[in-house]
């Protein structure tokens, strides 16, 4: 086994779009364990949009990522050495070791996972934080009834793909919004959504509205918002009375552009419930959500797709791609 490993720290904060020089690749010695600790070799790193917010200094729902420290991030890997009574060499674990090849834990913040029916990487996607996000926003906020229409933006992505599939399992009409024909074809043909609108094919907000209208002949009862901006304006205008909007993300504005809402009066006119949420604030529901999502993935009822970058050094480029929609499904980095 090597005596050193690689890690990526935040070197500087972006002004506008993220650039490679915001990150620094470092080599560090693999630490010696003390009693009660485990050493984990991370196999996959999850890249997620929330990391963009953490790179800013400004106040948010979570503290900023400190400069010169390992970038935050979810990981899955294998215990390679254990001096902890509850973990053995060879155990597969999910944790938050960040952008690095190894991690040390005293047992807190890591959970053993069963890879007999569910691939290890899925614990960072449909059976991990993104899946629970989809489950929470759909079931707890939109609370769809059979026969209703549910729309989700960033529909081919880690969260959106699960939202639409869960909506279908609940007996709803599921409509995605995604960037490009290939993503839309996947959403309908592979994931089983009823329709998908390619927002990149719309020339302006009016055309986007018409496309959404065509895909939602009975209007929209539930909207799972991942994007913001023009997409939100267009869906808002299609909402039925007493519709519910789960505000999960606003990725179109993460690089700093303000995203004004064109017509907030529609919230009143359509008597909408609009609720933002942060999935990590609802840990009490994770076991139930993960059990349902795990069963769905193991049985093949919930399908997913991954974009996998190779090697830790590729993480900054892959992350910048995620913020531009270059990923197709869950963005991961393979570390081994």
Ligand X SMILES: NC(=O)c1ccc[n+]([C@@H]2O[C@H](COP(=O)([O-])OP(=O)(O)OC[C@H]3O[C@@H](n4cnc5c(N)ncnc54)[C@H](OP(=O)(O)O)[C@@H]3O)[C@@H](O)[C@H]2O)c1
Q: Which residues bind ligand X (CB under 6 A)?
A: 48-50, 130, 133, 154, 156-160, 178-179, 183, 226-227, 248-249, 251-252, 277-279, 322-325, 327, 330
Comparing CB distances to ligand X, the nearer of 133 and 165 is: 133
Q: Which is nearer to ligand X, 82 or 156 (CB)?
A: 156
Q: Exposed e or buried b for every residue in 243-256, given b needs 16+ CB within 10 A?
A: bbbbbbbbbbebee
Q: Judged by CB, which is closer to ligand X: 79, or 167?
A: 167
Q: CB 336 → ligand X: shortest distance, Å?
A: 22
Which residue's CB is nearer to ligand X, number 126 or number 294? 126
Nearest distance, CB of residue 165 and ligand X, angstroms: 13
What's the min distance (Å) between Cβ of 158 and ligand X? 4
- Collapse the DSSP code of 324 into the 3-class scheme (helix H, G, I; strand E, B; otherwise coil) and give the result: coil
Tell me how many helices (H) and strands (E) the chain has. 9, 15
Nearer to ligand X, 48 or 81 (CB): 48
Q: How far apart are CA 107 and CA 193, in angstroms?
A: 40
From the number of C-beta atoms within 10 Å of its C-beta (0-12, 13-18, 19+), residue 317 rates as middle
Q: Give least dist CB 275 to ligand X, A.
A: 11
Q: DSSP for 232-252?
A: HHHHHTTEEEEEEEEE---GG
Q: Compare residues 48 and 148 and give the one whose CB is closer to ligand X.
A: 48
- 232's tokens: 């939100």
Structure tokens at 74: 């979810």
Rounded Cα gap, residues 267 and 241, in angstroms: 9
Taking the complex as a whole, how short is the minimal distance between the CB of residue 1 and ligand X, in angstroms? 33
What's the Rg (C-alpha) of the chain? 20
- CB count, 10 Å around CB of 116? 6
Separation of alpha carbons 300 and 320, rounded Å: 31
Three-state DSSP class for 73? coil
Q: Which of 26, 46, 70, 12 is nearest to 322 (CA)?
A: 46
Is the distance from CB of 178 to CB of 187 less than 8 angstroms? yes
Beta carbon nearer to ligand X, 38 or 231: 231
Sign of CA dihedral 140, 141, 146, 150: negative
The minimum distance between CB 223 and ligand X, in angstroms, equals 13
CB closer to ligand X out of 79 and 138: 138
105 beta partners = 38
DSSP secondary structure letter of residue 142: I
Asked if residues 172 and 193 have their Cβ atoms less than 8 Å apart, the reply is no
Report in angstroms how near the CB of residue 84 gets to ligand X at its nearest.
Answer: 29
Give min distance, CB of 89 to ligand X, in A: 32
Question: Smaller CB distance to ligand X: residue 119 or 180?
Answer: 180
Please, what is the minimum distance in Å from the beta carbon of residue 234 to ligand X? Answer: 12
């Amino acid at each position: 086994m090597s005596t050193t490993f690689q890690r990526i720290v935040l070197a500087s904060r972006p002004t506008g779009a993220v650039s490679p020089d915001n990150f620094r690749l470092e080599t560090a010695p693999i630490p010696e364990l003390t009693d009660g600790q485990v050493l984990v070799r991370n196999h996959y790193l999850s890249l997620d949009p929330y990391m963009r917010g953490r790179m800013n200094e400004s106040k948010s729902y979570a503290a900023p990522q400190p400069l010169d420290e390992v970038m935050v991030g979810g990981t899955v890997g294998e215990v390679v050495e254990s001096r902890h009574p509850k973990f053995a060499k060879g155990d597969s674990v999910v944790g938050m070791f960040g952008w690095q090849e190894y991690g040390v834990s005293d047992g807190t913040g890591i959970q053993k996972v069963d890879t007999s029916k569910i691939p290890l990487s899925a614990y960072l996607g449909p059976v991990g934080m993104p899946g629970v996000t989809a489950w929470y926003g759909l079931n707890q906020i939109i609370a769809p009834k059979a026969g209703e229409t549910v729309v989700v933006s960033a529909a081919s992505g880690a969260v959106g793909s699960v939202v639409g599939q869960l909506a279908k399992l609940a007996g709803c009409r599921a409509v995605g919004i995604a960037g490009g024909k290939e993503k839309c074809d996947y959403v309908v043909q592979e994931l089983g959504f009823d329709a998908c609108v390619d927002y990149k094919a719309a020339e302006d907000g009016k055309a986007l509205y018409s496309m959404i209208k065509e895909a939602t002949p009975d209007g929209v009862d539930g909207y799972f918002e991942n994007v913001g901006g023009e997409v939100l304006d267009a869906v808002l205008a299609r909402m039925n009375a007493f519709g519910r909007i789960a505000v999960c993300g606003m990725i179109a504005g993460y690089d700093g552009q303000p995203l004004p809402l064109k017509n907030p009066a529609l919230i009143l006119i359509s008597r909408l419930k609009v609720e933002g949420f942060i999935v990590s604030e609802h840990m009490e529901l994770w076991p139930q959500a993960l059990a349902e999502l795990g069963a769905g993935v193991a049985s093949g009822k919930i399908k997913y797709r991954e974009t996998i970058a190779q090697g830790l050094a590729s993480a900054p480029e892959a992350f910048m791609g995620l913020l531009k929609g270059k990923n197709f499904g869950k963005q991961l980095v393979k570390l081994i």
